[in-house]
Amino acid sequence: MPDNRVIVYKGPRQVGIESIDYPKLEIPAEVANGLGMQQKAPHAVILKLVTTNICGSDQHMVRGRTTAPVGQSLGHEITGEVVEKGDDVLFVKEGDICSVPFNIACGRCRMCNEGKTGVCLNVNPARPGAAYGYVDMGGWIGGQAEYVMIPYADFNLLKFPDRDQALEKILDLTMLSDIFPTGYHGAVSAGVTTGSTVYVAGAGPVGLAAAYASHVLGASVVIVGDMNADRLAQARSFGCETVDLSKPGDLPDKLEQILGEPEVDAAVDAVGFEAKGHGEGAAEQPATVLNDIMTATRVGASLGIPGLYVTGDPGGVDENAKIGQIGVRLGLGWAKSHSFTTGQCPVKRYNRQLMNLILAGKADIAKAVNATTISLDEAPDAYQQFDQGAAKKFVIDPHGMVAA
C-alpha cells in the first residue's frame, strides 16, 4: 500500500506535511476502547481525496488557540473517491465520488435518529460529537491528506449521482462538507426567510457562505460586517451590503445608514471566540459579536451562531476566556426575547438539498467564497495567507483531479 501524506499541526502558526501509514478499515483505538466497541470497521471506506479545504476552525488550532497537541492531523472538509470498502458497506461502490459531512456520526444513536448528527453519542468517548482532524474530537485522522478512512459510510457519505458532472462542479460541491451547510444552518437558525433583513458578522468563508445562503433563502437585504477590506469586497461581489467595523461608529448607526432603521430581522455570528472589538487596531474582545447581534437585532428574533466557541483556549484574553466563559449580555437577549442556536451544524440536514441546488446550476457558492485551488505541498503557505486575512477559500487538490 502507498504511504499517506497528511497535514499536521507543528506548533503555533506552523503546519507541515508528514507521511503516515495508509489508512485501515479501523476506528481510532481511543474511540473503540473508550466506548467498548470493536476497532475493526467493516462499515467503513477508504477515500482517495479529490478535494479537501482549509477551514477557519483549522486556523484556530494552528494559531495555538486550542489545546491541540503538536502532531495533530488536520482537515475535516472532505470530498473523495471510494477506493476500498468494508464488507458491510452496501450502498456505495468503488469509483463513487462522495461528499463527507465534517461531523462523524454513527447513524444509530438517539441523537442521529433525531437528526442531530453534530452530537452523535457513539464516536467520541470524551463528549458528544466528533470530527476528522480536530482536537478533542475522538482522535480521527484528518482529511487534509491523500487518503482518509470514513466510518459508517452508508450513513455518512453523500454520493454524487454522476461522476463527470461532479468533477465539473467540484469546486462548488467541495463546500458541502462544511461551510455551505454551516452558513446555511446559521441563516436558517437565525430565521432568515423571504424579505428578511440580515446582518452577518464576519466575512470569512463561513460568513460569506451564510450571506450567500441568506440570498438563497430570499432575504431582501444582506449586510456583512468585518474589518478586512478584501473580504468585504468579496461580500459585495455577490450583492451584499457591507459595514467596515474598523471605522468609527456603532453598528446600529451603520445599519440605519443602509436600512433606514438600526435593527435587522435576523443575525448570524460567523466569527466566534477570537472576535475583536470595533475600530482600527481593536484588541480581542470575545463577546463583541454576540453582544453586537443582540443589540442590532429586533425583539423576538433569532440569532444563528455557527461561529466556533471553545471550552479550552490557552490564548484567551483572561482566565475566564481560557475556559470559554465570556462577557455576554444575556440580560439584553432575554429582554428582547431572542432565541439562540449554537453548536456544530448537522450537515446531513442540509447537504443533499444544497447539492441539488449546485447540480441544477442555482448555487455558485465557490465563486461567492473565492475558491482557490492549491496542491497539498502549497498548503503550509496557504495557511499563512489565510491567517493574514486572504479573501480566499483554499481548496487542496492532492491528486491533481481538479480541472484547470
Q: Where are the domains of the chain?
A: 4-178+346-396, 179-341
Pairing of strands 14-20, 4-11: antiparallel
- For residue 280, what pLDDT is reported? 86
- Residues 150-187 pLDDT 10s: 999 999 999 999 999 999 999 999 999 999 999 999 99
pLDDT at 314 over 60: yes
- How many other CB atoms are found less than 10 A from the CB of residue 403? 10
Average pLDDT estimate for 288-298: 97
- For residue 215, what pLDDT is reported? 98
- Alpha-helical runs (H) found in 100-228: 110-113, 153-156, 163-168, 170-173, 179-189, 205-216
pLDDT at 10 over 70: yes
* Nearest in space to 91 (alpha carbons), one of 159, 160, 154: 154
Confidence at 403, pLDDT banded by 50, 70, 90: confident
Confidence at 190, pLDDT banded by 50, 70, 90: very high
Return all residues near 271 (Cβ < 8 A) that are at least 6 apart. 201, 202, 204, 207, 289, 307
- For residue 369, what pLDDT is reported? 98
351 SS3 class: helix
Confidence at 56, pLDDT banded by 50, 70, 90: very high
Q: Evaluate whether 355 touches 173 at the Cβ level (below 8 Å).
A: yes
* Nearest in space to 195 (alpha carbons), one of 269, 293, 265: 265
278 SS3 class: coil
- Please state which CATH number belongs to domain 179-341: 3.40.50.720
pLDDT at 79 over 60: yes
pLDDT at 80 over 80: yes
- For residue 2, what pLDDT is reported? 61
How far is the C-alpha of 328 from the C-alpha of 64, rounded, in Å?
Answer: 24
Confidence at 1, pLDDT banded by 50, 70, 90: low
Q: Which CATH number fits domain 4-178+346-396: 3.40.50.720, 3.40.50.620, 3.90.180.10, 3.75.10.10?
A: 3.90.180.10
* Nearest in space to 239 (alpha carbons), one of 214, 266, 269, 271: 214
* pTM for this predicted structure: 0.97
* Nearest in space to 156 (alpha carbons), one of 121, 118, 106, 119: 106
Which helix or strand (DSSP H or E) is residue 14 part of?
strand 14-20
Number of H helices, E strands in the chain: 15, 15
- Residues 268-280 pLDDT 10s: 999 999 999 998 8
Cα separations in angstroms, 270 against 18, 40, 166, 187, 244: 31, 38, 28, 10, 15
pLDDT at 281 over 90: no
pLDDT at 77 over 80: yes
Return all residues near 132 (Cβ < 8 A) that are at least 6 apart. 75, 76, 78, 100, 102, 104, 140, 141, 142, 143, 148
Return all residues near 69 (Cβ < 8 A) that are at least 6 apart. 9, 135
What average pLDDT does the chain have? 96
- How many other CB atoms are found less than 10 A from the CB of residue 125? 17
